[in-house]
Structure 1
């Protein structure tokens, strides 16, 4: 062996009559062995940096990985290669979104998209140095654009301590274009600024406008977009609500009401289990009637009056009629058996109904339900956010470049599967053999099969039934304090 560098090495064949022959263990990528680039590419996908790689190599009795300077060079190469591929992936996603719009309704303008937006931070609260904002097309469920916001730059942090030197001025003149800090206000404003930037560059980058914006209950982002007017005064951005976040409002409001009115809690009243049940039914009322605001409102109030009904005073006028109704009273009515019908549950007392009725009135108002028409959700955004922090774990230190790489990898995988990562490897100069192709194909096939199964309506209904059954089977405490414990457990 003549020399080693990380996991790569070189052997020399010496002969007394000939010149020595040097044989590397693998090809070179610029000045680094291919195996080192491949190794850190995979380690980065697993959320492991240089320190983690050193631990892995040490305990596996392998040669120590490369030094910090070589590692930084490899990370720069990965960042550059992933950035070039992800731009192609985003452009493809926008084209697929437009094609899907044409299939669903040929009269719609394919240059006006409906997107769901969400922000995620590397740290809870308003002290996070890094945040990611992403827009996902509602028709395809694919990422159409994203941006990473950073309030920290390691180089700036170092050189600011030497601000009065000549070297500082020279460094500053060359650093501005490569500075990793692109956000100077509080972390709480990261999402607002990021969304404004994403919307303002949509026409230039993709030739489209994001007209319908699906967001959570945070009004700051939408207000910021309205005030920014990215498409001028004539084209307004319409806010759509995420059904999941609207459903959570019901649970939150009911728990707050129970806390302020201790007398409405307890057995046969507003228990923690019953709060959860009412929240689920509220969400189902919106999802199952996503095309009609009036049907949403009718079904929401059906739940309220259904659980306030007694044998002497049945109030099932909003419940769906017919023998196939979920309401047993309506089933008995359709079969002509009301004379022998008895409610199999204790109705909520009038004091409970009076306390929660204003909540139902507020969460069934026309303006709110109008924004819920379409049944939009941010579930795809939540899945994408989780994928980012799997690649750049929150419990480990990461600079802005690593968060960017995590967002690149997450976008490629989220939109096109593991196969798209092979394209990044090709750009890096890493040879992709049959083993990598086989793994990528199998992983994507498994992922698609699982997603199709979960998307089936009967599977969704099954998940809801199992969750409700679990609530009924478990001994859920009814005190205010324990209800918050249960919410945390969920």
Structure 2
């Protein structure tokens, strides 16, 4: 293997027009493989962690292009800047020097790409300069750039991220306008989150997303109840009042909220509504929330536009979850109560968690399938209850669907169907829940777009527990059902 004679080796893409023989070779490769040349180049565009001794051993197996002898020289670090290194390899026979730059330089700057990537990784992983230094030390890698330069690079990155963020959100707004037929009045979904669980977080974030076929983020904002820089500068207040005054005048304070943590979301959503006109020249006329009435009430009480009455649209998942919550509450209140049939409300063959989750899923599915037809929505919602409430003496399957109702299927085939009515005592308790929820479903505008907004936020421990709980219930569903569960045959589909 012969080394390429070059005084400087920089990582770069191959120039396909260098020579005709190279062009022919590239064309033959293109004919053999389906991937393009650009994709092939991208596959080699990455970094490797290689021990220095391994690199020197590799060089000793190559021939020096100057003296044509096996290379047997020395390596020295000419320059180091964080993870970037400029290394010189000198042949001991002819003293020929080859230069290696371990990372390319970012155009129009003096920064090296590898250092910027390291700082982006540190930000994404929540590592400070000290944390990054410990991590690199454990890998036996050179330390990062000095802390001051590290902070400067973070600001450099932040400027580019902010610019890209604004361009992306502006493009998303224009895309929503085009999909809406040119109307500059949009329906948006909103949601807020805290970095920590509970109602004691000092920071909060919120986002508004479009409700197009491919929802995208339109606007984001944040709230903070404290400023770490202000807290750190408190020691100057009495030690050096003049310096403290200068700090206050030039400091970009992060403190922008003074209320309770629970009220952050409504304030942030309202802020984004108010700036939609000056920022994008649009109005948000309908809001899809997560079932929290405080946000919509705050938007109505503090109107962002003088000529728009913001409409509230319910999220299907949260709307159905309310019914699950109320059923579970009834189950808990009547856990040890003996019903008129001499049995308890809950337990095997009675009201289980799996049954409650099934009712939630069926209700959400009924809403999604019939949200454009209120009469059918009302009937399909009640069909879930009536199907399970039916007895041999009083079958109530007039609103059921032949696709899933075994009673209608048996009747159509001229067969007899036996209801198992042991659960009738449990369903009497749930009837009042179904009455209110079915009535609300027919008088409320419902959408499923809120889930897209929630997916934008990182899955936190709380909603991960909810997901895990639902999955666990489904895994136990078969074991929770007994011989009387033949009547539980409503299967219109899952909760997507």
Q: TM-score, normalised by structure 1?
A: 0.71
Q: TM-score, normalised by structure 2?
A: 0.70
- For 1:148-169, what per-residue CA distance to the aligned partner results, in whole angstroms no more than 9, with x for missing partners? 2222222111123332411111
CA distance, structure 2, for counterparts of residue 348 and residue 208 of structure 1: 57
CA distance, structure 1, for counterparts of residue 421 and residue 146 of structure 2: 70
What secondary structure sits across from 2:201 in the alignment?
Answer: coil
Match of 1:470 in 2: 475
Contact 2:270/2:299 (8 A) holds in 1? yes
Contact 2:354/2:474 (8 A) holds in 1? no
In 2 relative to 1, CA 23–272 (structure 1 residues): closer, same or farther, beyond 3 Å? closer
CA distance, structure 1, for counterparts of residue 358 and residue 284 of structure 2: 35
In the TM superposition, what is the alpha-carbon distance from 1:185 to its structure 2 partner? 2.0
Q: 2:191 aligns with which of 118, 126, 136?
A: 118
In the TM superposition, what is the alpha-carbon distance from 1:56 to its structure 2 partner? 3.1
In the TM superposition, what is the alpha-carbon distance from 1:222 to its structure 2 partner? 1.0
Q: Which runs of 5+ in 2 are unaligned?
A: 1-76, 91-96, 338-344, 462-470, 483-496
> How many residues matched?
378
In 2 relative to 1, CA 258–315 (structure 1 residues): closer, same or farther, beyond 3 Å? same
In 2 relative to 1, CA 82–121 (structure 1 residues): closer, same or farther, beyond 3 Å? same
Structure richer in helix, relative to its length: 1
What secondary structure sits across from 1:288 in the alignment?
Answer: helix
Match of 2:244 in 1: 168
Contact 1:243/1:372 (8 A) holds in 2? no
Contact 1:214/1:378 (8 A) holds in 2? yes
CA distance, structure 1, for counterparts of residue 472 and residue 408 of structure 2: 25
In the TM superposition, what is the alpha-carbon distance from 1:79 to its structure 2 partner? 0.7
- For 1:46-97, what per-residue CA distance to the aligned partner results, in whole angstroms no more than 9, with x for missing partners? 5554344323322221111123212211111111100011111001101111
Match of 2:159 in 1: 80
Match of 2:457 in 1: 385
Q: 2:118 aligns with which of 39, 56, 75?
A: 39
In the TM superposition, what is the alpha-carbon distance from 1:10 to its structure 2 partner? 4.3
Match of 2:217 in 1: 143
CA distance, structure 1, for counterparts of residue 87 and residue 325 of structure 2: 67
CA distance, structure 1, for counterparts of residue 373 and residue 116 of structure 2: 54
Rg larger for: 2
CA distance, structure 1, for counterparts of residue 361 and residue 220 of structure 2: 31
What does residue range 80-479 of structure 1 map to in structure 2 within 5 Å?
80-102=159-181, 110-139=183-212, 140-164=214-238, 165-175=241-251, 178-232=252-306, 234-262=307-335, 263=337, 264-320=345-401, 324-335=402-413, 337-338=414-415, 340-343=416-419, 346-347=420-421, 349-366=423-440, 368-373=441-446, 375-386=447-458, 470-474=475-479
Contact 2:354/2:480 (8 A) holds in 1? no
> Bigger shift: 39-48 or 76-85?
39-48
What secondary structure sits across from 2:296 in the alignment?
Answer: helix
> Bigger shift: 348-357 or 45-54?
45-54
> Bigger shift: 128-137 or 466-475?
466-475
In 2 relative to 1, CA 294–118 (structure 1 residues): closer, same or farther, beyond 3 Å? same
In the TM superposition, what is the alpha-carbon distance from 1:13 to its structure 2 partner? 9.9
Match of 1:9 in 2: 85
In the TM superposition, what is the alpha-carbon distance from 1:353 to its structure 2 partner? 2.4
RMSD over aligned Cα atoms: 2.8
In the TM superposition, what is the alpha-carbon distance from 1:146 to its structure 2 partner? 0.9
Higher normalized contact order (CA 8 Å, seq sep 6+, divided by chain length) = 1
Contact 1:286/1:372 (8 A) holds in 2? no
CA distance, structure 2, for counterparts of residue 361 and residue 173 of structure 1: 60
Q: Which runs of 5+ in 1 are unaligned?
A: 15-19, 103-108, 391-465, 478-490
CA distance, structure 1, for counterparts of residue 105 and residue 229 of structure 2: 33
Contact 2:349/2:481 (8 A) holds in 1? no
Contact 2:352/2:480 (8 A) holds in 1? no
CA distance, structure 1, for counterparts of residue 351 and residue 442 of structure 2: 25
